[in-house]
Amino acid sequence: MNSHPDTVIKGGRIIDASGEHSADVVISEGHIVAVGPNLDAKRVIDAAGCIVSPGLVDLHAHLRQPGKEETETIASGARAAALGGYTAVLAMPNTTPAIDCAAVVREVLDLGRESVCDVHTSGAITVGRSGEQLAPMAEMAALGVRIFTDDGTGVQDDRLMRRAMEYASGLGVTLAQHCEVNSLSEGTCMHEGEWSARLGLPGQPSESEELMVMRDIALARMTGAKIHFQPMSTSGSAALIAAAKAKGMTITAEAAPHHFTLTDACCENYDATFKVHPPLRTQADVDAIKAALAVGSLDAIATDHAPHAAEDKELPFDQAPPGMLGLEYALALAFTELVDGGAMTEAEVLGAMSSKPAAIAGMQNHGQILVPGVSANLCVIDPTHRWRIDATGGASLSRNVPYVGREVRGKVRHTFLFGESVVHDGEVQR
């Protein structure tokens, strides 16, 4: 990428892991070269009234390529990410074929190099995500894969998961788990509770998630493996993780925006836009997820961006695929629901969306404190801009947006990827 020489971002309020202060930021040749007052450069970006933050990092994005390019490509997903302030995303391996070997890892990484976001990929824990045989994690780790998951399907076999943890420990990589016990969740399509009873739809109990959380905490204690829990949706799961951390375990966990903004009551009209796994839960669960993010027992906010073709989401609720879009909306939803709701500060939200996920994924060039010498991966956010989410889906090739009509606060004006202006005044530059 060719960075614009000597760009200055002037008049912004820097928020990063070191704190908050007002300063100008000068970018040259892909790096930050100066931070301070009254700086000048050839090109000036006016950031008065704006936040200047490390670029956001998403631990959980379904980019669909290879295999489902009609719903999303790495290029289109990267554009959506950049518009949302993301400079790095971690692609999930439930593609067709699955990302379960070196050849598919190389394909995804090669496609990512041409995009407007730094695309990393996870690898599958088991071959084909079938839960039967361990995938060749070592050969994928040799290509830079740091997180392995069978996302969309939790590893059901206890002994196999133990072996996976022991294998991962030797490689120094992290296993991420989609927590869902199939014997309790198979055939379900929403949360089991008052609304599933009203609608006559088969419901997934909270215990389906919580039992796997308990098992993997126990296995991580046994093996010493690094384990990351993918979107947690229940109050019980949040409590289990908080208790494990209180005992000194180094586990990490994420929450998705839909699990702190939407409830199972959204399913009342059988609109499959609101079908997602883990499913939307109760208001009590939403409140618990917010509280867990506020105290840090849930470390990161991850989008679980999951595009689907319109004709698939128009199927009957129990037949439609789960998932919803998130990359362009996550920051504004977090500011609106968490900051305006009093649960977190802007700095805490940005930490949960930049420095913390970058540390979990081992992305050393992202989420950094904005000082001279670091890679110029950052975004400029107008925190006062109010806007209403529409049904277009933004840059995504899909349109399964569950937030249509919701008024939110916070809009990304500029995104810089290794010094290149990939989003300028809210428009993707290539």
CA distance 230 to 178: 5
What are 406's two structure tokens?
């919701």
In the set 24, 100, 264, 304, the catalytic residue is 304
- Total count of residues recorded for the chain: 430
The torsion of the CA quartet 180, 184, 185, 186, rounded to 10 degrees, works out to: 120
Q: At what angle do helices 206-223 and 158-171 cross, to 10 degrees?
A: 50
Amino acid at 299: D
Q: Is 304 a catalytic residue?
A: yes
What is the residue whose two structure tokens read 């014997």?
Answer: 183
Per-residue DSSP letters for 115-142? Answer: SSSEEEE-B-SBGGG-SSSB--HHHHHT
Encode 284-323: b = buried (16+ Cβ within 10 Å), e = exposed. Answer: ebbebbbbbbbeebbbbbbbbbbbbbeeebeeebeebbbb
How many Å is the maximal CA-CA distance in the chain? 64
**Between the CA of residue 271 and those of 128, 133, 204, 266, 277, what are the distances in Å?**
30, 37, 17, 8, 15
CB-count burial class (<10 Å; 0-12, 13-18, 19+) for 26: buried
Helix (H, G, I), strand (E, B) or coil at 109: helix
Structure tokens belonging to residue 201 = 């739809």
DSSP state of 219: H
| Cβ contact 147:140 at 8 Å | no
H, E, C per residue of 144-185: CCCEECCCCCCCCCHHHHHHHHHHHHHHCCEEEECCCCHHHH
Distance (Å, whole) CA 256 – CA 332:
13
Structure tokens at 346: 């802007």
114: number of Cβ within 10 Å: 12
Q: Is 46 exposed, middle or buried (0-12, 13-18, 19+ CB in 10 A)?
A: middle
Catalytic residues: 304
